[in-house]
Amino acid sequence: MQIVDSHTAGEPTRLILSGGPELGVGTLAQRAERLVQDHGDFCAAVLLEPRGHDAMVGALLLPPTDPACAAAVIYFNPVGPLGMCGHATIGTVVSLHHLGRIGLGLHRIETPVGVVEVDLVAPNRAVVENVPSYRFAQDVVLDVPGQGLVTGDVAWGGNWFFLTTDCPVALDFDNIDALTRAAKAIRRALLDAGITGAHGADIDHIEFLGAPQTPQGHGRNFVLCPGGAYDRSPCGTGCSAKLACLAEEGLLEPGMPWVQESIIGSTYILRYHRDTQGAVVPRIEGEAHVTAQATLLFEDTDPYRAGIRA
């Protein structure tokens, strides 16, 4: 299996160039579902220890069905598929450029939730125009054991997010364990209360929001991903959900920049415009770096060929 590893603002992506499972025919969303339902061992083997670690996001490269697209990509983490993934899209185009497969400039990428446009503005820098994003529910109040009442919004940015400024501790690197525990408790409380996104969709990302810690920043976040790892980057789809909420509240005008800091201090520059239907179309600008180009090996006799799992 041929892979290229990269990180985008600290968050790792493993781009799988060859050696992935046969997913049959159907839409990319159907094939993404099949990847996780029928090939869970593949996802775990590729992403988890001893070959990876639980923060890694996989990007399975497939031929596009639309000839106007440079590639089709299915994003997945160790526990399931992701509809879209901002950091992995930036990582994918930077990796494809590193391989000499694409040049600088505009590229269209098919994802399970729709086509996104990426402008590779430099070998390590790209701007992703995400799918239209929206706030689904405002000021949802949750009773969270150990935290009391927590109020937040539910929004879609290519994945489902619960966004709240009710952080139990400061958004500091040293508090990552406490933030992870608190975000997991919120996720459990959402499940227990039966609160979902549209059409009963699981809200599988939790985003704490707070004040920036640098003069150029506008906000800082901490994002818990579905497998329980935290996003080292400001989370492209989480930023899209955040932009949808800012736009809804009239707190950010179209075209104006918003510098979003992650919990490790890395940044994305965010902007949005409205499409012809008035929907918020986010733009996420960030930097990625290739860290490895390798062949993954899975020996039959390896007791951990399908990853280290409970």
Contacts to ligand PYC by CB under 6 A: 11, 57, 82, 85-87, 159, 225, 231, 233, 235-237
Tell me the two tokens of residue 50: 């001893």
Minimal distance, residue 299 CB to ligand PYC, in Å: 30
8 A C-beta contact, residue 225 and residue 237: no
**Distance (Å, whole) CA 97 – CA 108:** 14
Place of tokens 């969709």: 201
Question: What residues form DSSP beta bridges with 274?
Answer: 280
Nearest CB to ligand PYC, comparing residues 92 and 233: 233
Q: 253 exposed, middle or buried (CB, 10 Å; 0-12, 13-18, 19+)?
A: exposed
Minimal distance, residue 204 CB to ligand PYC, in Å: 9
Minimal distance, residue 238 CB to ligand PYC, in Å: 6
**Distance (Å, whole) CA 210 – CA 166:** 9
Please give the backbone phi and psi of residue 122, each rounded to the nearest 5 degrees, phi first: -155, 165
Minimal distance, residue 250 CB to ligand PYC, in Å: 25
| 235 has catalytic annotation | yes
Minimal distance, residue 198 CB to ligand PYC, in Å: 18
* Catalytic-role residue among 43, 85, 225, 239: 85
Helices within the chain (DSSP H only): 28-38, 40-47, 86-98, 176-193, 236-248
| 225 has catalytic annotation | no
* Catalytic-role residue among 167, 235, 239, 245: 235
Give the list of residues 6+ apart from residue 98 with CB closer than 8 angstroms, or none.
4, 123, 290, 293
3-state secondary structure of 43: helix
Nearest CB to ligand PYC, comparing residues 171 and 288: 288
Nearest CB to ligand PYC, comparing residues 168 and 286: 286
**Distance (Å, whole) CA 56 – CA 179:** 19
Any idea which residues carry the catalytic annotation? 85, 235
